[in-house]
Structure 1
């Protein structure tokens, strides 16, 4: 059931985002659009609540419960930038806004950008770990202290692996900066 809720939350995220941007740029109703876009964090809150309720009612923890926590961390850390990205593109296409620049960074600028994005991943992982620890605590207090929290612990490990891999990528761009292509005319 939690997997269905995660899929529904993802669908709801994009549906609310599309509705909010459509109202903003097609109907020119900025306040209504802002109210709709405020619904995005509510989706996360509903998913977290459903996950916690499921576990406190005695449901055996699964990787899906952990995935809900990982999803929550990702949407909090990256949600604003995804919404801003979509807003820029919809503003260009339907609102007469400037064309979003296709930015390709090289050298240390690229390395700094990779570390900036890694910092968002760090935030996502920290949020996920805090939520996972709260779910583990709630599960153990619900009477399942016999090791049933292993899938939640596995989710913590997955989050830390993603953080480590992303850190290696950022470090690689720092050590071996991406070079701009040579001009064809020179």
Structure 2
């Protein structure tokens, strides 16, 4: 949640208020807030707490902020620039062919990075705490996220295996 608060605040500071330094500070704070949330979760577990969905979400938020953060910020920045600073119309994502396949694969690579940065701390906590009864939620969350990652891989790489062709240019046997 705070990811979006800091992102929208940072872009508003940049394009509406024209405060570049404030904007930079707010945008830098985006992953730092998630890191603080993760540290608070770890301290709670260290003090004897039991991992809950909230603890898992702290790791997920950090992974997603770092894995997808730049991509999301770039996407939002282009739209804010267009809307509030007479910037160019944002480029839409590719719809067909090799460029769409590359776009989808890159999206999956970001997801893989987010998964690694989210599941990594959860598995580290499982090992560090060493009490399966207190960390079962981390294992359950990691399993679910792994299934989602695999499904995303199938979808993302399907654009490489079976690329869509433009309706204006139907596929031929010569291609």
Q: Taking structure 1 as the reference length, what is the TM-score of the superposition?
A: 0.83
Q: Deviations over 1:73-123 (max 9, x none)?
A: 111100111111111111111112111122333122211211111111110
In structure 1, stretches of 5+ residues that fail to align are 1-9
Map 1:148-159 onto structure 2 (within 5 A): 148-159=134-145
Query: Does residue 180 of the first structure (1) align with residue 170 of the second (2)?
Result: no
1:31 and 1:108, CA in 2 relative to 1: closer, same or farther beyond 3 A?
A: same
Distance of 1:27 and 1:95 partners within structure 2: 11
Task: Answer whether contact 2:34 2:58 (CA < 8 A) is retained.
Answer: no
Corresponding residue for residue 57 of structure 2 = 67
Corresponding residue for residue 27 of structure 2 = 37
Shift of 1:155: 1.3
Corresponding residue for residue 20 of structure 1 = 10
1:36 and 1:60, CA in 2 relative to 1: closer, same or farther beyond 3 A?
A: same
Task: Answer whether contact 2:31 2:62 (CA < 8 A) is retained.
Answer: no
Shift of 1:146: 4.8
Q: Taking structure 2 as the reference length, what is the TM-score of the superposition?
A: 0.88
Matched pairs, number:
169
**What value does the CA root-mean-square deviation take over the aligned residues?**
1.7
